[in-house]
A and B are shown apart, each in its own frame.
Chain A
């Protein structure tokens, strides 16, 4: 158990809908990251937050947004869902924000868009 929690574990929804994925980092970690794992794209970095502020952005679609709250938990919002958004979404956390920090991953949220 990495100490990172994600809810829900599974999510089934329809195209055009909006969903929110939630992540709680390990105790003491200030950085939260979101990754998407799909069959065609592999594991891809989406976005990083550090102590409430966005710090790095990867291949995140405009339909997706995230935020980190004062209690350091984070939410990833996915809207206008398409079939291709079906994937495993991971949250990770690290103590600090700098390059090279070890990231510990949560169990993931498996999203299926029908």
Chain B
């Protein structure tokens, strides 16, 4: 069965610090997809990134970057020069590509609450 672990339940940083959120996953499939979602205090879930298991290139989007390492089954998320608006709960999620007829459930980690203080 698939599993996602976010060991850091809560992180507190001061504005402008860099912060890395860890995500470790378990799956038996060779083809799978990893996601990060942000849940700000308002409650909605905002999609940040999708990565498939065959693409190990790191990705950078503005102050956000993601490091995918299959060897350690990790998909970590770094925020550079954090801002107060980054305060939110961040979720890592996994989807196995079990075939087009078998559905597409997301398995979420427990989330990491990030607090950025001014």
Contacts and interface: CB of A to CB of B under 8 A. Distances in A.
Contact of B97 (A33, A100, A105, A107): A100
Given A56-B104, A100-B104, A106 B99 contact: no
A104 B47 contact: yes
B100 A97 contact: yes
B64 interface: no
A42 interface: yes
Contact of B47 (A42, A105, A106): A105
A100 B111 CA distance: 20
Given A99-B99, A100-B97, A31 B43 contact: no
Contacts of A97: 100-101, 103-104
A45 B1 CA distance: 14
A56 B100 contact: no
Interface string B54-97: 00000000000000000000000000000000000001000111
A42 B100 contact: no
Nearest to B53: A100
Contacts, number: 86
B43 A110 contact: yes
B43 to A, nearest CB: 6
A8 interface: no
A107 B50 CA distance: 20
Given A42-B110, A56-B105, A58-B105, A102 B35 contact: yes
B108 A43 contact: yes
A33 B108 CA distance: 14
B14 interface: no
Given A97-B104, A100-B104, 8 more contacts: A35-B106, A48-B105, A55-B102, A90-B45, A98-B97, A99-B31, A100-B52, A100-B95
